[in-house]
Structure formats: structure tokens, C-alpha cells
């Protein structure tokens, strides 16, 4: 499929003196998965809720499937599915009731029973939603978002609280949506989720886009790599760095486990091996790794905890 499903240009959203979204621009193509990453408070949920039409921007332009989500919400709502972090599920209702109710709003919905079975909810289909576990509520929220066969779906942290089996099933379902031509925009804190599912990753921090690209483009940027090896604890890392070209960083990340980060070429690998050999050290498990998406994320947003 060709064409643009989501266009955000110069989006600004303020809450009093605090600017939650500060001039964000991004686009998502039809039939692709876009993962939006960011620390807590970065503006991810505000961005997505504005695209869904739940919040009105202070500045900027938003188009979802060519429509303004605020002014043309009545036309847009039948075309999109929305999975909220919280809310949207009636505590006294039962999953089967909820899913049948939402399915009834659409002309050609998915089969609610098949969806309950697919997401492992059949055994609790008659249990009041207030008695469901957090993971079961997450899976029900996902089912409610896709039961209407939307052309585009917004998923806000879809696998939070899920066990590994449920997370795997959710990933497979999202991949199927993409294969069926559905455009998916998801927020997540799981880097593996973004690397595995996304055609495009957008990293935002303090309300601004700080990086965007495919997972491969982001992890390959700058050609930085990491060399890892094991040896006895307490090596003289200052001495090791002196034997290498400038611009590298060496750490003992845990007792006896070392990393060297920078532009890792053959000369660096040879330098580490030669330095170790001169001291009678046999480096074990020596390997060169590309940066992970988590490495990129931490480099861009910092390593300090935020309130």
C-alpha cells in the first residue's frame, strides 16, 4: 500500500505552563507499524490522544487517514481502533458482552468468539471485568481496539503487564494486522518490541522528536559498536584505553565482564587481544556487537531516573 496514514506537523500541546508536546512533526505510511518511544512524561500519550481526537492541540496540524480527528471525528471513528492505557472497559460488564457490544457498532466486525479464543480470553469471557487480571484486561482492550476491522489502530503500551506467552501472541497479532494492510501506531517501553515490530521508530523526549528511522538506521547511526569480552576482574582499563585509538570508552559492567565502545574495527579488536596477551590474559567470549535500540534510547534521553 502507498500513501500516508498519519501526518503530524508542528504539533504543540500545553497544560498550563507545562508544554507536553513541543513542535512534533512525524508521518506514518499506510500499512506500516510506527513505534513511539520515550521516557515517562516525554509526551507520548498526549501525542497519541491528540491524533485520536481526544485532545485538542494548541498549535499544529494533524491528519489521520486524511481527516482532522477533531473536526471530522464522526467520519474518522469508524475507521480507527483505539487501545487506551486505562479506561474504556466497564467493570461490571463481561468480556463477551463488551466485545459483542463494540462489534455491533461496525458493519463488518471480526467474530468476537474467535477473537476471545485468539487472545486467551475464552475461559474468562463470562467473568465480570473487574475480576480480570491486569494482563487479561490488556488483552481485552486490544480485542476491543481491533474488533471493528479498523484501517488504522493506535495502541498505547499494548503489552504492559503481559506474561511472555501473551506478549508473544500480541506481537503475532500486530504483525498480522500489518500484513493485512492495517496501519499501526504504538507506544511502548519495550525496546525489543519496537525492534521486532516497527518499520519506523520515533524517539521523543521532553515533547520533541530526538530521533527517527528504521530500527537498523538508528542502531547503525555513527557506526559505533561494542566489543565485549570476559577476563579476570579488576583489569587496568586506563592502560587498555591507552593501547587503543582515541575516542573509546571501556567499562567493567560486572565483575570480569568488560565492554569497549566506539568505532570498533579490526585494529581495535587486535589492540584488545594484543594488550591482553602481553599480560598473560586470555579474553573469553570476545565478540563485537552493534548498538541496541536501548543503547540509542539511553544515549539520547539519558540514563538518570525521572520522577
HSE value, Cβ hemisphere, 13 Å, CA-based, for 28: 32
Could you read off the pLDDT of 149-160 as tens digits, one per residue? 999 999 999 998
Mean pLDDT score of the chain: 92
Q: Quick check: is 69 in a domain?
A: yes
Could you read off the pLDDT of 255-290 as tens digits, one per residue? 999 999 888 889 999 999 999 999 999 999 999 887
Residue finishing a domain among 193, 219, 245: 219
Q: Quick check: is 103 in a domain?
A: yes
Residues 61, 185 within the same domain: yes
Residues 280, 201 within the same domain: no
Cα distance from N-terminal residue to C-terminal residue, the chain: 41
Residues 142, 209 within the same domain: yes
Predicted pLDDT at 172: 94
Q: Quick check: is 155 in a domain?
A: yes
In whole angstroms, give the CA distance from residue 296 to residue 280. Answer: 35
- CATH assignment of the domain containing 149: 3.40.50.300
Alpha-carbon torsion 161, 82, 99, 142, what sign? negative
Predicted pLDDT at 303: 66
Residue 31 gets the label, from left (phi > 0), alpha (psi -120 to 50) or beta, of: left
Q: What's the mean pLDDT in 181-209?
A: 95
Q: Are 1 and 31 in contact (CB under 8 A)?
A: yes
Residues 203, 270 within the same domain: no
Could you read off the pLDDT of 53-73 as tens digits, one per residue? 999 999 999 999 999 999 999
Instruction: Assign 263 to helix, strand or coil.
Output: coil
Residue for cell digits 505552563? 17
Residues 262, 206 within the same domain: no
Asked whether residue 247 carries a pLDDT value surpassing 80, the answer given is yes
Residues 263, 215 within the same domain: no
Residues 119, 182 within the same domain: yes
Backbone angles phi, psi at 7, to 5 degrees: -130, 120
Residues 197, 234 within the same domain: no
Predicted pLDDT at 225: 76
Q: Quick check: is 307 in a domain?
A: no
Task: Give the count of domains, the chain.
Answer: 2
Q: Are 139 and 166 in contact (CB under 8 A)?
A: yes
Could you read off the pLDDT of 11-23 as tens digits, one per residue? 999 999 999 999 9
Residues 209, 252 within the same domain: no
- CATH assignment of the domain containing 236: 3.30.70
Instruction: Assign 166 to helix, strand or coil.
Output: helix
Could you read off the pLDDT of 74-118 as tens digits, one per residue? 999 999 999 976 667 889 999 999 999 999 999 899 999 999 999
Q: Quick check: is 134 in a domain?
A: yes
Name the more confident of 297 and 60: 60
In whole angstroms, give the CA distance from residue 8 to residue 21. Answer: 12
Asked whether residue 168 carries a pLDDT value surpassing 90, the answer given is yes
Instruction: Assign 120 to helix, strand or coil.
Output: coil
In whole angstroms, give the CA distance from residue 16 to residue 275. Answer: 58
In whole angstroms, give the CA distance from residue 235 to residue 191. Answer: 31
Predicted pLDDT at 307: 56
Residues 46, 81 within the same domain: yes
Residues 215, 271 within the same domain: no
- Full domain range(s) for residue 275: 225-290
In whole angstroms, give the CA distance from residue 161 to residue 129. Answer: 16
Indicate the pLDDT class of residue 230, thresholds 50, 70 and 90.
Answer: very high
Amino acid at each position: 500500500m502507498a500513501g500516508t496514514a498519519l501526518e503530524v506537523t508542528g504539533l504543540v500541546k500545553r497544560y498550563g505552563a507545562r508544554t507536553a508536546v513541543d513542535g512534533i512533526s512525524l508521518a506514518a505510511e499506510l500499512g506500516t507499524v510506527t513505534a513511539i518511544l520515550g521516557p515517562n512524561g516525554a509526551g507520548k500519550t498526549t501525542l497519541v490522544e491528540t491524533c485520536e481526537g481526544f485532545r485538542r492541540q494548541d498549535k499544529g496540524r494533524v491528519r489521520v487517514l486524511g481527516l482532522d480527528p477533531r473536526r471530522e471525528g464522526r467520519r474518522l471513528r469508524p475507521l480507527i481502533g483505539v487501545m487506551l492505557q486505562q479506561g474504556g472497559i466497564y467493570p461490571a460488564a463481561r468480556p463477551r458482552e463488551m466485545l459483542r457490544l463494540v462489534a455491533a457498532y461496525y458493519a463488518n466486525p471480526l467474530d468476537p468468539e474467535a477473537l476471545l479464543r485468539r487472545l486467551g480470553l475464552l475461559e474468562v469471557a463470562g467473568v465480570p471485568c473487574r475480576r480480570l487480571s491486569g494482563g487479561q484486561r490488556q488483552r481485552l482492550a486490544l480485542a476491543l481496539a481491533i474488533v471493528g476491522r479498523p484501517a488504522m489502530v493506535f495502541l498505547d503500551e499494548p503489552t504492559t503487564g503481559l506474561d511472555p506467552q501473551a506478549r508473544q501472541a500480541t506481537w503475532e497479532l500486530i504483525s498480522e494486522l500489518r500484513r493485512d494492510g492495517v496501519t499501526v501506531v504504538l507506544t511502548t517501553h519495550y525496546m525489543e518490541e519496537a525492534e521486532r515490530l516497527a518499520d519506523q521508530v520515533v524517539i521523543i523526549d521532553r515533547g520533541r522528536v530526538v530521533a527517527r528511522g528504521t530500527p537498523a538506521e538508528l542502531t547503525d547511526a555513527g557506526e559505533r559498536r561494542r566489543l565485549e569480552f570476559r577476563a579476570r576482574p579488576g583489569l587496568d582499563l586506563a592502560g587498555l584505553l591507552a593501547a587503543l585509538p582515541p575516542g573509546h570508552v571501556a567499562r567493567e559492567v560486572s565483575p570480569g565482564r568488560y565492554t569497549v565502545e566506539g568505532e570498533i574495527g579490526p585494529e581495535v579488536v587486535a589492540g584488545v587481544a594484543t594488550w591482553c596477551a602481553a599480560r598473560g590474559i586470555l579474553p573469553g567470549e570476545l565478540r563485537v556487537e552493534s548498538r541496541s535500540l536501548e543503547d540509542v534510547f539511553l544515549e539520547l534521553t539519558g540514563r538518570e531516573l525521572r520522577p
